[in-house]
Amino acid sequence: MAGVELRGLRKSYGRTEVIHGVDCAIADGEFVVIVGPSGCGKSTLLRMVAGLEEIGAGEIVIGGRVVNRLEPAERDIAMVFQTYALYPHMTVFANMAYGLKLRGMNKAEIAQRVRKAADILELAPLLARKPRQLSGGQRQRVAMGRAIVRESAVFLFDEPLSNLDAKLRVQMRIEIKRLHETLGITSLYVTHDQVEAMTLGQRLVVMNAGVAEQIGAPMAIYARPETVFVAGFIGSPAMNLLPATLADGAVTLAGGGRLPLPEGAGDAAAGRPITLGIRPEHVIIAERDDDRHDDDGHARLAVVMVEELGADTLVHGRIMGDDAAFTLRLRGGHRLAAGETLPIAAAPEHLHLFDRDSGRRLPARA
């Protein structure tokens, strides 16, 4: 096994720069997920580590060795692609053994490695089958088995679950997590699915337009996103982001609602326009009072649609006054309907404040 370091990685196609100086150190045995929307550069970054894309600038270090000029086969990595890429005319055993056979490994060693990997992935009863006789999840496990038998220092996964249905994706997430706990091999995993990223990664690299916007543990990023992009991308449903202004120890929404701030927050930006972030699960329905017309301490939501999901109820609407879209997540059983108006609030500690121009999180007073 080995650690991986990305030092100032850049990549351009002609005059268009697509990777803008990414720095990240992955510890030996760590599972790091590179996550972001389509076109953000995450797969390009992974392919640079694999040696399938040329590096414009910077260094890739695997196991203490700079591998910029090494061919993929010399980097001691194994890659699992989005497509299974299995040979249809070969059995499961032959597919898993093929790369070892090309290396000239003896038959006894090949058989030992294949059967060991098959036991780990629960493929032993399927070794004599052809790919057409397997389910999608079984084929993906064969693709992972082909990587395991190489006994490489680093695993690279390029959106390996994208072609599976929702139920299979959940099952395969469990398989991959169990596999990492069993083998402890350094892994880089690319996905656009932030739920997949949160459940699999020990750390996340959140990519946006070729920039690593934030690197950290999943729950740390969820609790304290450093930019508006990260705030809106990580979390399902997404964080609500509203235009607002800070003044007199409160945040004033464009439509006139006011929410109290945590102590010391936003002093440096008082009077300046900001973006306010509130996660749907941190929103509460304030006490209803038909005789009260001021919006101090809460805002008002015009309900557009209600989704009853069993354990949860999602309420979609628009903030009255500025017409901003807004979602709140409630426990199941709430009886709400489109057309209602709700007074909503959030505890001060659950408010996220971002500079309107830079999109960066505003620091709290020391």
Q: Is 207 exposed, middle or buried (0-12, 13-18, 19+ CB in 10 A)?
A: buried
Q: Span 120-133, mean pLDDT?
A: 93
β-strand partners of 259: 251
Last residue of a domain, one of 195, 229, 263: 229
Cα–Cα distance between 292 and 301 in angstroms, integer? 15
Which span out of 94-103, 221-230, 269-278 was modeled with the highest average pLDDT? 221-230
Which of 82-86, 130-134, 267-271, 272-276 is the least confident region?
267-271
361 belongs to a structural domain: no
β-strand partners of 77: 154
Q: What is the pLDDT of residue 306?
A: 94
Higher-confidence residue: 163 or 285? Answer: 285
Same domain, 36 and 110: yes
366 belongs to a structural domain: no
Q: What is the pLDDT of residue 295?
A: 58
At residue 109, what are phi and psi to the nearest 5 degrees? -65, -40
Where residue 309 sits, what CATH number does that domain have? 2.40.50.140
Q: Span 33-46, mean pLDDT?
A: 95
Residue with tokens 């991986």: 4
Q: What is the pLDDT of residue 296?
A: 65
Q: What is the pLDDT of residue 219?
A: 96
Same domain, 222 and 246: no
Q: Give tens-digit pLDDT for 252-277.
A: 887 777 888 776 665 555 677 899 99
Res. 366 pLDDT band, cuts 50 70 90:
very low
Q: Is 166 exposed, middle or buried (0-12, 13-18, 19+ CB in 10 A)?
A: exposed
Same domain, 217 and 288: no
Task: Give the three-class secondary structure for 81.
Answer: coil
334 belongs to a structural domain: yes
Q: In the structure encoding, which two tokens stand for residue 280, read together?
A: 């749907």
Percent of the chain with pLDDT over 70: 94
Same domain, 12 and 142: yes
User: What is the number of structural domains in the chain?
Assistant: 2
Same domain, 305 and 209: no
Say yes or no to pLDDT of 289 above 60. no
Last residue of a domain, one of 174, 197, 229: 229
Q: What is the pLDDT of residue 168?
A: 83
Same domain, 93 and 215: yes
- Tallying the residues shown for the chain, one arrives at 366
Same domain, 202 and 302: no
Same domain, 131 and 245: no
Last residue of a domain, one of 201, 229, 257: 229
Say yes or no to pLDDT of 101 above 60. yes
Q: What is the mean pLDDT of the chain?
A: 89
Same domain, 222 and 256: no
Same domain, 169 and 106: yes
363 belongs to a structural domain: no
362 belongs to a structural domain: no
38 belongs to a structural domain: yes
pTM of the model: 0.89
Q: Give tens-digit pLDDT for 155-192.
A: 999 998 888 888 888 888 988 998 899 889 999 999 99
- CA distance from start to end of the chain: 42
60 belongs to a structural domain: yes
279 belongs to a structural domain: yes
Same domain, 200 and 245: no
Where residue 99 sits, what CATH number does that domain have? 3.40.50.300
Residue range of the domain that includes 141: 4-229
Same domain, 182 and 246: no
Distance, C-alpha 210 to centroid of its chain: 15
Q: Determine contact, residues 364/264, Cβ cutoff 8 Å.
A: yes
